[in-house]
Structure 1
């Protein structure tokens, strides 16, 4: 029984070695590193579909930190820009509403309203 297991092990190791080396004696070629193919668009703002389409490349120990950092910094900049624009528009809207309703004195102290 031991001899059978030893022969089987030698045959399996030989088969695996031949599969790795190949028929022409070359070792398997190195795989190209996984890179981010579909980057976020640089010519326009990032949309929801762009974020959903991003597939981050996986490295030996997880995601590639440089690629993830690039994507996160771009998304952070886009969100900060949008937050600033929203604040600007809300401020302009509040100013327009105050002007349309008669100014800030409309809801002021009682003596100003009684005049």
Structure 2
């Protein structure tokens, strides 16, 4: 009985190996093109939350394709740095405008007059 199971196992392994490798003129498993980003990030406008949520990275043999992940992370990092710089610029402009408003309110005050702050 053991010998029969051993022979059956060898036959099954050989059949699977021939099916995968291909025993004839043509390959049984055809070559496929690697997956690409189906819906890449838009280049003509800033990224939004919906763009990031809708992003689906293609999967390779060992996980996600490194080149695609690097491209996406580089783009997101650049967008975040640009937004951070813009926020800092606007906060500085706001602080300047507030300082100007406070100092200009003091200019119209008569000497000895109290402000109601």
TM-score (norm 2): 0.72
What SS does the aligned partner of 1:29 have?
coil
**Take 2:82 and 2:71, find their aligned partners in 1: how far apart are those partners?**
17
Q: Secondary structure at the match of 1:55?
A: coil
The 1:63–1:100 alpha-carbon spacing in structure 2 relative to 1, beyond 3 Å, is same
Q: Is 78-87 or 9-18 further displaced after alignment?
A: 9-18
Q: Which consecutive residues of structure 2, in runs of 5 or more, have no partner in the other structure? A: none
Q: What is the alpha-carbon distance in structure 1 between the residues aligned to residue 17 and residue 37 of structure 2?
A: 33
Per-residue CA distance 1:76-96 (angstroms, 9 max, x = gap): 110111011101111111111
CA separation of 1:17 and 1:61: change in aligned 2, threshold 3 A: closer
Q: Which runs of 5+ in 1 are unaligned?
A: 107-112
Count matched residues.
109
Which whole-Å CA distance do the structure 2 matches of 1:58 and 1:25 have between them? 27
Runs of 4+ in 1 over 3 A off after TM superposition: 17-22
- RMSD over aligned CA atoms reads 2.9
Distance, in Å, in 2 between the alignment partners of 1:31 and 1:41 is 27
